[in-house]
């Protein structure tokens, strides 16, 4: 007697599996096409409209005034800081920027034809700023903040490029990046850009003044303030160009304060002239800059024109004043062990009291600028994240030397003198005395920052 086998049920799973595989392949193909179009589609559009593509490059040569404007804009963007190795030839590139994924080396911006911009056109340069892509179509690593340079207008881009072409050409090839695989590959960069990069050409807010809009343009574009003052996600992407909500800067281990929160930045309550003074000189009657912000003042902001600093201050202050601030409250005194309190007071007396005073009152110069900052009520002392305090005690605090503040007072490093528990205790002392109400700093927090700097 023959047996009939029902194959209907056994064939069904196979057919579902085939359909699922086809769906996955189709979805993967569609996503791949989207990523390719998103990163290189404009090349096809440019080829189909060459007249529009060459409109700027065929214009008349820039005037000396425009070229000088390019030099000024390059200063405003602090470009030389990244595109110059320490002790090397200015603008020849090769400086390493460390990221959580490895090292990225800056490119040569001098007009050398083989290793620099000598064969580039103004259109190529504009594409690098606006699309984050090299002359040959290669996608650039986002250590170059092209989300911010995409804000820059075409006339300003052309002026910067024209000025760079006046520099002496320097033969210096860009070293190969040392990013971990596959982070530095073109496919990985393309996917990252499709997820996190969108060009942001500047659009003036018609409800605001020309001065406010100038400040917004400088802060969002050349100043690239959000590159530090916004949080970064696990894949290294920062917030939008307008995001000034603060965040920990990876690798360098400094906390960039929330510029929209007055308790962290003081921008909402500080008089406008004092904000301008801080940007121009690195010091004011209420604050000092150090660390990465001190470098920005040193290499860039001190060289800007007064109207531009005023415009930036107006924009930043308006952002802080228009952001809802948390209601002030009285935090309960932090609980600190007797051992930590005793050690902290002893270290303060031996190491800090002479400059910062018995009551943390600090010292000011005859002109009213901060010499040794007051610690009572100090915003940097009260930050919920004590990273900056640890950095300052470990490695010293030195403001930038500027024309308006040529001999800033400094704080010596204690990295070789104090142990982690000493630093944690004295910082806890600062954060819990003279009306300060902030949390305890632990030896582990100090050790992590000390260890991150290497031997």
The dihedral sign for the CA sequence 74, 76, 77, 82? positive
- In a domain, residue 273? The reply is yes
Q: Tell me: do 70 and 191 sit in the same domain.
A: yes
Q: Tell me: do 272 and 182 sit in the same domain.
A: no
Minimal CA–CA distance to 103: which of 251, 323, 259, 260?
251
For residue 115, the enclosing domain spans 64-196
Domain-terminating residue out of 174, 196, 218:
196
Q: Rounded to the nearest 5°, which phi and psi values hold at 102?
A: 125, -170
- In a domain, residue 8? The reply is no
Domain-terminating residue out of 278, 293, 321:
321
Residue with tokens 């921008």: 267
Give every CB contact of residue 68 below 8 A, 6+ residues apart in sequence.
163
- In a domain, residue 11? The reply is no
Asked whether 222 and 73 are in contact (CB, 8 A), the reply is: yes
Q: Rounded to the nearest 5°, which phi and psi values hold at 133?
A: -135, 140
Q: Tell me: do 169 and 68 sit in the same domain.
A: yes
CA distance 149 to 217: 11
- In a domain, residue 272? The reply is yes
- In a domain, residue 434? The reply is yes
User: How far is the CA of 154 from the CAs of 57, 80, 149, 273, in angstroms?
Assistant: 11, 20, 11, 32
Which token pair is 15?
């057919």
Q: Rounded to the nearest 5°, which phi and psi values hold at 25?
A: -65, -45
Q: Tell me: do 312 and 349 sit in the same domain.
A: no
- In a domain, residue 331? The reply is no
pLDDT at 38: 63
Give every CB contact of residue 18 below 8 A, 6+ residues apart in sequence.
none
Residue with tokens 């949080």: 231
CA distance 416 to 394: 8
- In a domain, residue 418? The reply is yes
Q: Tell me: do 299 and 388 sit in the same domain.
A: no
Q: Tell me: do 443 and 358 sit in the same domain.
A: yes
Q: Tell me: do 174 and 244 sit in the same domain.
A: no
Q: Tell me: do 155 and 219 sit in the same domain.
A: no
CA distance 222 to 74: 8
pLDDT, mean of each 10-residue run, the chain (455 residues): 52 67 66 67 63 50 90 95 93 93 95 96 95 92 94 96 96 93 91 90 95 97 95 91 93 93 93 95 86 93 96 97 77 83 95 92 81 90 93 90 83 93 96 92 94 74
Q: Tell me: do 145 and 268 sit in the same domain.
A: no
CATH number of the structural domain spanning residue 395? 1.10.760.10
Model confidence pLDDT, tens digit, residues 198-233: 899 999 999 999 999 999 999 999 999 999 999 999
Q: What is the CA radius of gyration of the chain?
A: 27
- In a domain, residue 87? The reply is yes
* Helix residue spans in 324-377 (DSSP H): 338-351, 353-356
What is the phi-psi region of residue 257: left when phi exceeds 0, alpha when psi lies from -120 to 50, beta otherwise? beta
Strand blocks (E) in 224-310: 247-249, 254-256
Q: Tell me: do 180 and 240 sit in the same domain.
A: no
pLDDT at 168: 96
Q: Tell me: do 73 and 130 sit in the same domain.
A: yes
Q: Tell me: do 184 and 74 sit in the same domain.
A: yes
Asked whether 340 and 348 are in contact (CB, 8 A), the reply is: no
Asked whether 282 and 402 are in contact (CB, 8 A), the reply is: yes
Domain-terminating residue out of 279, 294, 321:
321
pLDDT at 52: 45
For the chain, what is the domain count? 3
């Amino acid at each position: 007697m023959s047996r009939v086998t029902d194959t209907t049920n056994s064939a069904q799973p196979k057919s579902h599996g085939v359909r699922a595989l086809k769906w996955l392949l189709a979805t993967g193909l569609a996503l791949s096409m989207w990523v390719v179009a998103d990163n290189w589609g404009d090349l096809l559009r440019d080829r189909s409209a060459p007249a529009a593509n060459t409109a700027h490059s065929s214009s008349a040569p820039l005037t000396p005034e425009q070229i000088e404007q390019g030099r000024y804009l390059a200063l405003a963007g602090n470009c030389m800081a990244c595109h110059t190795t320490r002790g090397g030839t200015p603008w020849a590139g090769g400086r390493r920027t460390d990221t959580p994924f490895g090292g990225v080396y800056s490119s040569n911006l001098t007009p050398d034809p083989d290793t620099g911009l000598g064969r580039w056109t103004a259109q190529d340069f504009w594409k690098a700023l606006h699309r984050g892509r090299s002359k040959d179509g290669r996608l650039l690593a986002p250590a170059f903040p092209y989300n911010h340079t995409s804000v820059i207008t075409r006339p300003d881009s052309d002026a910067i490029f024209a000025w760079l072409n006046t520099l002496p050409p320097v033969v210096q090839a860009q070293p190969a990046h040392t990013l971990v695989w596959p982070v530095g590959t073109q496919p990985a960069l393309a996917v990252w850009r499709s997820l996190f990069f969108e060009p942001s050409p500047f659009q003036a807010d018609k409800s605001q003044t020309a001065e406010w809009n100038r400040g917004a343009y400088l802060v969002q574009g050349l100043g690239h303030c959000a590159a530090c003052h916004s949080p970064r996600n696990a894949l290294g992407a920062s917030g939008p160009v307008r995001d000034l909500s603060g965040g920990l800067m990876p690798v360098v281990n400094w906390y960039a304060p929330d510029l929209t929160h007055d308790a962290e930045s003081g921008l909402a309550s500080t008089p406008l002239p004092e904000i301008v003074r801080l940007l121009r000189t690195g010091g004011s009657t209420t604050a000092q800059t150090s660390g990465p912000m001190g470098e920005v003042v040193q290499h860039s902001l001190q060289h800007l024109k007064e109207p531009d600093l005023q415009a930036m201050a107006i924009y930043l202050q308006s952002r802080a004043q228009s952001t809802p601030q948390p209601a002030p409250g009285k935090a309960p005194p932090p609980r600190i062990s007797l051992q930590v309190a005793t050690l902290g007071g002893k270290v303060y007396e031996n190491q800090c009291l002479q400059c910062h005073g018995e009551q943390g009152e600090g010292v000011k110069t005859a002109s009213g600028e901060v010499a040794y900052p007051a610690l009572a009520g100090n915003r940097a002392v009260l930050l919920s994240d004590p990273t900056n305090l640890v950095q300052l005690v470990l490695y010293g605090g030195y403001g930038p030397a500027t024309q308006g503040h040529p001999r800033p007072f400094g704080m010596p490093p204690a990295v070789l003198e104090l142990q982690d528990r000493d630093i944690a205790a004295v910082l806890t002392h600062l954060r819990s005395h003279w009306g300060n109400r902030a949390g305890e700093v632990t030896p582990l927090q100090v050790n992590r920052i000390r260890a991150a700097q290497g031997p």
